[in-house]
Amino acid sequence: MRSTTVRVAGALTAAALLAACGAGESRDDDDSGGGSAVGITDDSIKIGAHFPLTGVAAPGYSEIPSGHQAYYDYVNANGGVNGRKIEFVVKDDAYDPTKTSSVTNELVLEDEIFGMVSGLGTPTHSAVVDFLNSEEVPDLFVSSGSLMWGDDPEARPWTFGWQPDYEIEGKIIGQWVKENMPDAKVGLFLQDDDFGEDGEAGVRQYIDDQIVDVQRYTPGNTDVGPQIAALQASKVDLVLGFNVPSYTALSQLVAMKLNFTPKWFYSNVGSDPALVGSLLARFSEGSVKDDASLLDGVLSTEYIPGVDAPDDPWMKLWQQVWDEYGEGGKLTNYRVYGMSEAYTFVQALQAAGDDPTRESVVEALEQVGGDFEGPGMAPFRYSEDSHLGISGMSVVELKGGKADPLTPVLVTDIGDAEITEDDSAAGDVPPDNGIPDEEPAS
Amino acid sequence: MIRRFTRVPLVRHLLLALVGLAAVVVVLESTSPFRNAQLANVAYLGIAAGGLTVLTGLNGQLSLGHGAFMAIGAYTTALLLQDADPALPLVGVLAVATVVALVCGVVVGVPAARLHGPYIAGATLALAIAIPSTALFFDDLGGEQGLNVLVPDLPTWILDAAYFVTGNEMDRTRSIAYIGWVCLIVTYVLLANLQRSRVGRTWRAVRDDDVAAEIAGIHLGRARVLAFVVSAGCAGLAGSVMAMAVRITAPSGFTLNLSLLLLSAVVLGGLGSLAGALIGSALLTFLPQVVTDVGVDAGLTDVQAAQLSPLVYGLVTMAVILLAPAGLVGSLRGLLQRRRLASAGN
């Protein structure tokens, strides 16, 4: 009698335990299956990005995705990558991090993209970089030069930068000023975020003692009169600007009004002569003519060939692609930038092999990404220790809307890495069919 | 018997809340993570719009600055959630954010209570513009790039309980949607009771005729400040949920646009109705995405499709104001009432 009770109780306990274990196992199992093949089928791969298509940052930047699209259409028309057509989904975030977060949710959770390619902006992308990494979504070639996209691959293993970061740009600018204008009194005109901060850190490595004044502006506040007047009051004769194009136009306008005529040196981001020219015309309500020559004598940097060099083999390819597959309108430097990024993405996809997964794209970039040949004038720095992009640039002077190189390509890395001359990547030419041909990495 | 029971507002509201909670569980469990994220969006907009509809519809004060109170709640939350292992549990974070916004509501509400109509709109407008920019002056607030928000995992016992009830694994997005909707239900129960209470009646009296109300012994200033503070608290709570849902708190998320968006949610849904505030918030969340998708499917370029959504949104607002001036819920209610009267006449 008693033994029956014990037996029944024992059986019940065992059953309960088993049931509990079963539940426990099924909970833990949910993680397996690894969503690494999300967004990719035998004949398609879906990628996405957030761009400011509307709002204050839309001029210029909204043209970048049309460059991507034209190049993907070109690749798709020629058979795609290993038979897969690239589908590029673009969402508008109006340069508002809150919206970036919600459109990224949409891209990752609803559209189920394979990866994020070229999402634009430092404040906007920093809203989603942790989410993309925790969801293990490849986050390739962020359209921004913040160090955040590659200086710490352990913290953000899925994120890769593309363009030279703002710190090495600052270093190269700083060294050039030290060597060529050692007596100049330098004033800095900075955007008040990572962009200005990283640039300043780079510049200060070389000309800390030459800097007499630092002025910052907040994006959105269009009155830069006080900052420019302060620079004038400090008797600055060289202004280094780490600012976006609309602030190049604003600072030029204010300087004209104040009769302030220093030498100007704008970092690459803010120096597109065509866009700045048209913004100047718009901001001055026509009293300044839309003319790229307004920036004559302005110094800047360059890391990919642009529309001012129509004879460059890369530009010939971009022009051909744009004429055939573009959505209309002129080929601009922003569209060229988009096509150049798209070219690198196709390389990464090829390097990932016949059956790419989210993991294999990242692995391939770490293993062979540093050897990719492309429109960049300097090699990429991709490795297991660094996910930072193009390693250098040359200093140029603008003349009649054209960039005139003043230095060979200068290459360096963050921190106290030396600046060296390296033309190894500058002579790269595109393959005859315009589509890269990378070997699978493994 | 049951009817007599449900005639007590508190009981009726609690019953409604239970039904609502059940509906929330069913909806959140049966939809995709992306819908969950959108629903979290509806929840935080709905909380703030609920507070605003009480202020505007019931007390007659127009605020153009509720986005600023959301910013206060969001920044408080972001500051409390900087470590993976925060000092406070999530409920505590939500409560602190609400209280901080409440206190700021008092500071703004006391002087604002002396103002009427367009002047109070002007004062709150200044607030909406000033608050996001103050974030730029303090380095600890992350400047233009804002602060990242690290939402800790829910306690294991809640996850286990949720798994026991629903049989589904609770992921991050879904748990935040739950937090948002539970906050929304609690807020709406409190607001609905307030509406039906003595306080609500004094608010309505102040709105309809402040001279008469004063003669009846109502302290005008006190009633106005209280209404303002309550709705500021709602906005603070909404900001807190927003910070968790968006995972970042940056000044550009709290521009004047946000305040106007809240106001338009309230107007679209129907001034003074909580259900209307919720419907308006849902419209604001879902409309842009639907319109953009339709635009892309119709062969527009990405830029054109993106520009389509503000256009359609503007047209919808105009249509509602022209065709249903009392808002969606208000007009529907009017329609039902007229029909009831007509059938009673027969």
**Per-residue 3-state assignment (H helix, E strand, C coil) for A186-216:** EEEEEECCHHHHHHHHHHHHHHHHHEEEEEE
The pLDDT tens digits for B305-332 are 888 888 888 888 888 888 888 888 888 8
Per-residue model confidence (pLDDT) at position A176: 96
Cβ–Cβ contact A220 with B under 8 A: yes
Average pLDDT over residues B170-180: 87
DSSP A306: -
Per-residue model confidence (pLDDT) at position B33: 85
DSSP B168: S
Distance in Å, alpha carbon of B274 to nearest chain A alpha carbon:
25
CB count in 10 Å sphere of residue A111? 16
Distance CA B183, CA B186 (A): 5
Per-residue model confidence (pLDDT) at position B151: 83
Query: Which residues in B have their CB inside 8 Å of a CB on A?
Result: 32-35, 37-38, 41, 133, 136, 143-146, 148, 163, 169, 173, 242, 245-248, 250, 252-253, 255, 289, 292, 301-303, 306-307, 310
Sign of CA dihedral B204, B206, B212, B217: positive
Per residue, what are the HEC states of B176-238? Answer: HHHHHHHHHHHHHHHHHHHHHCHHHHHHHHHHHCHHHHHHCCCCHHHHHHHHHHHHHHHHHHH
Distance CA A115, CA A138 (A): 5
Instruction: Report the length, in residues, of chain A.
Output: 442
Distance in Å, alpha carbon of A22 to nearest chain B alpha carbon:
13
pTM over 0.95: no
Average pLDDT over residues B122-140: 84
Strand partners, A47: A88, A115
Per-residue model confidence (pLDDT) at position A31: 40
Task: Determine the residue among B77, B163, B252 to mutate to test chain A binding: the one whose Cβ has the most chain A Cβ atoms within 10 Å.
Answer: B252
CA neighbor of A107 nearest in space, from B335, B34, B257, B140? B34
CA neighbor of A242 nearest in space, from A275, A211, A273, A196? A196
Per-residue model confidence (pLDDT) at position A339: 96
- Of A97, A109, A130, nearest to B33 by CB-CB distance is A109
ipTM of the complex: 0.79
CA neighbor of A55 nearest in space, from A86, A96, A83, A22? A96
Confidence tier at B67 by pLDDT (50, 70, 90): very high
Residue B238 has pLDDT above 90, yes or no: yes
CB count in 10 Å sphere of residue A58? 18
CA neighbor of B204 nearest in space, from B13, B56, B49? B56
CA neighbor of A46 nearest in space, from A117, A100, A106? A117
- The torsion angle over the Cα atoms of residues A348, A337, A413 and A439, rounded to 10 degrees, is 20
Of all residues in chain A, the one with the smallest CA distance to B258 is A98
Asked whether the beta carbons of residue A105 and residue B32 sit closer than 8 angstroms, the reply is: no
Residue A78 burial (C-beta neighbours within 10 Å; 0-12, 13-18, 19+): exposed
Sort out which chain B residues have CB atoms less than 8 A from A98's CB and list them: 242, 246, 248, 250, 252-253
Answer for the pair A168, A412: CB distance below 8 angstroms, yes or no.
yes
Cβ–Cβ contact A30 with B under 8 A: yes
Per-residue model confidence (pLDDT) at position B2: 62
Contacts of A152 (CB under 8 A, 6+ apart): none
Asked whether the beta carbons of residue B252 and residue A101 sit closer than 8 angstroms, the reply is: no
Per-residue model confidence (pLDDT) at position A29: 38
Asked whether the beta carbons of residue A53 and residue B310 sit closer than 8 angstroms, the reply is: no
Per-residue model confidence (pLDDT) at position B119: 84
CA neighbor of B228 nearest in space, from B93, B49, B63, B340? B63
> Token digits for A439?
């070997």
Contacts of B286 (CB under 8 A, 6+ apart): B38, B42
Distance CA B133, CA A336 (A): 35
Cβ–Cβ contact A19 with B under 8 A: no
Distance CA B145, CA A341 (A): 25
Confidence tier at B346 by pLDDT (50, 70, 90): low
Kind of pairing between the strands at A238-242 and A263-266: parallel
Q: Give percent helix, percent strand, percent coil of chain A, each to the nearest 5.
A: 45, 15, 40
Q: How far is CA A321 from CA A83, A326, A339, in A?
A: 20, 7, 9
Distance in Å, alpha carbon of A92 to nearest chain B alpha carbon:
6
Cβ–Cβ contact A109 with B under 8 A: yes
Per-residue pLDDT of chain A (442 residues), as tens digits, is 445 444 544 444 444 444 443 343 344 434 434 446 789 999 999 999 999 998 878 888 999 999 999 999 999 999 999 999 999 999 999 888 888 988 999 999 889 999 999 999 888 898 899 899 988 999 999 999 999 999 999 999 999 999 999 999 999 999 999 999 999 999 999 998 888 999 999 999 999 999 999 999 987 778 899 999 999 999 999 999 999 888 999 999 999 999 999 999 999 998 888 888 888 888 888 777 766 677 889 999 999 999 988 999 999 999 999 999 998 889 999 999 999 999 999 999 999 988 899 999 999 999 999 999 999 999 999 999 999 999 999 999 998 888 899 999 999 999 888 999 888 887 888 998 999 988 888 7
Sort out which chain A residues have CB atoms less than 8 A from B152's CB and list them: none
Asked whether the beta carbons of residue B246 and residue A194 sit closer than 8 angstroms, the reply is: no
Residue B102 has pLDDT above 60, yes or no: yes
The 3-state DSSP class for residue A388 equals coil
Asked whether the beta carbons of residue B252 and residue A30 sit closer than 8 angstroms, the reply is: no
Per-residue model confidence (pLDDT) at position B18: 92
Asked whether the beta carbons of residue B248 and residue A126 sit closer than 8 angstroms, the reply is: yes
Kind of pairing between the strands at A159-161 and A139-142: parallel
